[in-house]
Chains A and B, each alone.
Chain A
Amino acid sequence: MTKAKKTVVGRRSFLRGAAGGAAALMTDPVVGRAQKAATEPGGRGAVVPTEAALARENGNARPALNIEVIEKPQSDYMVDVIKALGIEYVAFNPGSSFEGLHESLINYGNNQPEILTCCHEESAIAMAHGYYKIEGKPMLVLLHGTIGIQHGSMAVYNAYCDRAPVFMIAGLDNEGPVAAHNATDMAAMIRDYVKWDHQPESLPQFGQSMIRAYKLAMTPPMAPVLIVADAALQNPPMKQNLPVPSLVMPTVPSADLGSVREVARMLVAAESPRINAGHFARSQRGMDMLVELAELLQAPVNGGDRAVFPSRHPLAGTGGGAPDLILALEANIPGTRIGGTRPKTISISTAELLATHNFNVNGNPPQADLSVTADPEATLPSLIEEVKKLITADRKKAYDERGKKFAAIHLQLRNQRIDEAAAGWDASPISLARLCAELWPLIEHEDWSLTSPQGFISNWPNILWNMDKIYRTIGNQGGGGMGYGAPASVGAALANRKYGRLSINIQCDGDLNYAPGVLWTAAHHRIPLLTILHNNRGYHQEVMFIQQQCSIRNRGGDKAHLGTKLIDPNIDYASMAKAYGVSGEGPISNTKDLVPALKRGIERVKKGEPALIDVVTQPR
């Protein structure tokens, strides 16, 4: 379809005559001056926005007046395509470059998929990231031109590193009022960390591109995708009925039978195999199959940051000692010798299929002795069958013996870690172990889900709680970008809401302050989420690193708080929560006050609303 001629005037030539307020008071109309834009170079082809252009973005001008009514805009078709993909939610911070699509979503789509109003693009994308990790499918995110993409870029990078398929549409309005919001290659800014991007030239191409983007995003190795939707495609009237292209998902790449048999042979022959399990399980079935494989082989399973193997299973952990074979499922191969020997290694991974993955993000571990390019979850059924065929009675007897040894080691290490939880038990501020231990009996009989990372809370939930389902703990940021915890938790809690799960977010204070407006999003959309603030009043990790630098330079550590601590004044998180419409309580720094506050918070969340409890904690 050729580019439709705009049927509105005003952005360049007309102001609504009846517009009141500031626009009406402007002596120099916005009209006309905008046409002079794009003549002043702002560096590398960028254009300095005119006063008129900025006036509209700042709310000092009114939207354009249609000179004719458009009953059936092309953005309605876009909504049809979005619905055909089964997308349930669309998150965005509003922007003029996609106002046509926005209007279609609310009036034509009748808020289906449901709009999630976000206060920052980074929040919207991180919400989609967390949502995927529970629901297993993408949330749509809309981004406003260059500025929306840049606001969201950190969260895109996190999702990319975490192999999370966030589906994004960025609006582009080349005839819009602010030239700086446009670019000739909109996706260039984040192309290094999306799997695919496209700017369709026509409406039929938009439909096809959306289908392709969805398929690519959702086929392992999964990753974010971006479609650029030109306003010139969104706003013109439909000229003909277009069929919505159908979505047929491709099969997931699984290993060839020859490779599977070789993997099985090596596993069965190994005397002390270990399984390193990364982000391989996309469903509960993945966890269940891993349990089956581990039990067949009586091999210990060393999991990553997401729940992929039950934490209290006797085979959970490294098993101690030196393995003679490591099977890595979307996991890194150890680069160093273990116990003085270098084990044989097998990798089953889709990393080789994501060529853009940078050197440090999975994908570039030391070479395995046998590297199988395949999705582990799709490969496990055939691998399990081949292993079963090869296990003899003698081997099974040997496996049972080593299984008993691994179970004993698991129990010993688990008890040792639980013993460590006693440290600082009665201390104020409250220890994170105490916080997590006290929370456990309050949630263990619920269907609960921990939606926040555990790295900054010393992994106490993994030690003290029973991570027996894939949704029990959904892992880290991916790219290590802060500002992820709160929005990812809101997105995950939204997904958990459908299943009646109790969502728990143990929230780092520094992380929350990147974009706390997501609390309002949770309140507005009635997303039940218990946020317990791990309030150590600072960027604690960085304090430790700065202390090390001070040490290297022999200058003392007494100024390490400068630039790292969130004190003077202390932030009042309970009031912050209340300001956003979320129930807030705290600060709580004495252990005697902890459990009653947790109980009150859980009760509120079970009623369907978010709640925040500010707990002043030991630093880590």
Chain B
Amino acid sequence: MSSRSRAEGITIMATLTIRILMMAGALLVGRVLASAQAPAGNAANGKELFLTYGCYQCHGYSGQNGPGKHLVPMKFGQAAFTAYIRNPVKPNQMDWMPSYSEKVLSNAQAADIYAYIKSLPNAPTAKDIPLLTDIKSGK
């Protein structure tokens, strides 16, 4: 379970948003900020959430094993990641990712999960694994 409350998350997000606004000044519009400049997450909290919310069930503890899409390397930016988990693509009746609304997972929690996923190591490629190279060659 998350160690960070939703209210706390919102407070942090608001504080960071103000700071960013001050730094960016008039060049930034609010809409862009809301989507692209979410607060940086806490990877340790994110790990806990990754397990509690069962992300690993479809994406693996590694973030790259299982029927879900590979999360590592993460191709989304943080805002896009949050937006995606709010409304994931549902390709068919069976294989679809559950959605996580703000009611059940705050933006701050989503940011934490994102930070954790970003901390997961990339796997080597198959060409760097002699065993897989052998299997490819027909051994």
Contacts and interface: CB of A to CB of B under 8 A. Distances in A.
Interface of A: 312, 414-415, 418-419, 421-429, 431-433, 437-438, 440-441, 444, 458, 464, 540, 543-544, 547-548, 550-551, 554-558, 560-561, 618-620
A557 B124 CA distance: 31
A419 B125 contact: yes
Contact of A415 (B58, B101, B136): B136
Given A548-B96, A551-B99, A551-B100, A619 B60 contact: yes
Contact of A422 (B52, B67, B101, B129): B129
Given A422-B126, A540-B57, 9 more contacts: A423-B65, A426-B121, A427-B61, A427-B123, A441-B139, A458-B67, A550-B104, A554-B104, A619-B65
Contacts of A441: 131, 134, 139
29 contacts: A414-B136, A418-B126, A419-B125, A422-B124, A422-B128, A423-B123, A424-B64, A425-B123, A426-B121, A427-B60, A427-B64, A431-B60, A438-B131, A441-B131, A441-B139, A540-B57, A543-B57, A544-B54, A544-B67, A547-B54, A547-B98, A548-B96, A554-B103, A554-B104, A556-B105, A557-B100, A560-B54, A560-B57, A618-B60
Contact of A423 (B53, B56, B70, B128): B70
A426 B124 contact: yes
A554 B98 CA distance: 9
Contacts of B70: 423
Interface SS of chain A: loop
Contact of A558 (B1, B99, B123): B1
A554 B58 contact: no
A550 B105 CA distance: 12
Which among B52, B54, B56, B60 has the highest number of chain A CB atoms within 10 Å?
Answer: B54
A464 B129 CA distance: 14
Contact of A427 (B54, B62, B101, B128): B62
A325 B57 CA distance: 39
Contacts of B91: none
A431 B62 contact: yes
B7 interface: no
Contacts of A548: 96, 98
Given A440-B135, A557-B53, A424 B96 contact: no
A543 B124 CA distance: 29
Interface in B58-100: 58, 60-67, 70, 96, 98-100
Interface string B37-58: 0000000000000001110111
A227 B56 CA distance: 48
Contacts of A423: 60, 62, 64-65, 70, 123
B34 interface: no
Interface in B96-139: 96, 98-101, 103-105, 121, 123-126, 128-129, 131-132, 134-136, 138-139
Interface class of chain B by DSSP: loop
Given A422-B126, A547-B57, A619-B57, A427 B96 contact: no
B65 A422 contact: no
A619 B66 contact: yes
Contacts, number: 121
A239 to B, nearest CB: 62
A312 B135 CA distance: 11
A287 B128 CA distance: 35
Contacts of A433: 65
A429 B70 CA distance: 16
A425 B57 contact: no
Given A423-B65, A548-B98, A418 B54 contact: no
A283 to B, nearest CB: 26
Contacts of B61: 424, 427-429, 618-619
Question: Most B CB atoms within 10 A — which of A422, A428, A550?
Answer: A422
A313 to B, nearest CB: 12
Contacts of A438: 131
Given A429-B61, A432-B65, A422 B135 contact: no
Contacts of A555: 104
B100 to A, nearest CB: 7
CB-based closest 4 A-B pairs:
A551-B98, A556-B104, A424-B62, A427-B62
B103 A558 contact: no
Contacts of B124: 422, 425-426
Contacts of B104: 550, 554-558
A412 B128 CA distance: 18
A620 B66 contact: yes
Contacts of B67: 458, 544, 620
B58 A437 contact: no
Contacts of B54: 543-544, 547, 557-558, 560-561
B92 to A, nearest CB: 11
B105 A620 contact: no
A402 to B, nearest CB: 23
Nearest to A422: B126
A556 B100 contact: yes
A618 B68 CA distance: 12
